[in-house]
């Protein structure tokens, strides 16, 4: 950990960078199991619109969440989408993203909660911000995303 001039503590982390609607997001590599092509899921009746459904991945049923729909009102998914298989709380979740970019080490600055963020469900799994190649990287809390989707 390091401290900045403003007194904010930053932490260097290894992150998988993914792209969703032109924005960069970081996923903790310790939770990432593999990257696979998105398959056609079987829709689950009564599930939220951002839960695409279930796929059979080598004999295991995996719930797939669409990060595009989870983070925005947009419902159009990229034709070349990829799925990141993550594991948390002993459960696996497929996370559909537009593109997978790279694995990098970043200094992550924690977010300070603001009144508008406290009540926003999608903001609860945003852990902090980093910077890579002049772009802002939004670091997601994979464990919270899994908890919100599967528990």
Q: Are strands 23-28 and 135-140 parallel, antiparallel or unpaired?
A: parallel
pTM of the model: 0.82
pLDDT digits 0-9 by tens, 79-112: 678 999 999 989 999 999 999 999 999 988 876 5
pLDDT digits 0-9 by tens, 51-60: 999 999 999 9
Instruction: State the Rg of the chain over Cα.
Output: 15
Alpha helices by DSSP H, listed for 2-111, are: 67-71
**Measured between alpha carbons, how far is 44 from 36 in angstroms, rounded to an integer?**
21
Assigned CATH topology for domain 2-150: OB fold (Dihydrolipoamide Acetyltransferase, E2P) (2.40.50)
pLDDT digits 0-9 by tens, 104-136: 999 888 765 544 443 454 567 888 889 998 999
What is residue 2's predicted lDDT score, i.e. its pLDDT?
47
Q: Are 29 and 15 in contact (CB under 8 A)?
A: yes
Domain layout of the chain by residue ranges: 2-150
């Amino acid at each position: 950990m390091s401290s900045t001039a403003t007194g904010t503590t930053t932490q260097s982390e290894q992150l998988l960078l993914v792209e969703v609607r032109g924005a960069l997001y970081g996923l903790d590599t310790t939770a990432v199991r593999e990257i696979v092509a998105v398959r056609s899921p079987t829709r689950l009746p009564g599930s939220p619109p951002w839960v695409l459904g279930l796929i059979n991945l080598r004999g295991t049923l995996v719930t797939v969440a669409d990060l595009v729909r989870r983070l925005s009102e947009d419902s159009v998914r990229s034709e070349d989408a990829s799925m990141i298989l993550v594991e948390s709380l002993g459960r696996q979740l497929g996370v559909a993203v537009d593109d997978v970019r790279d694995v990098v080490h970043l200094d992550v600055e924690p977010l300070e909660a603001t009144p508008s963020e406290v009540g926003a469900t999608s903001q609860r799994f945003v852990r902090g911000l980093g910077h890579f190649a002049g772009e802002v990287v939004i670091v997601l809390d994979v464990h919270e995303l899994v908890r919100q989707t599967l528990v």
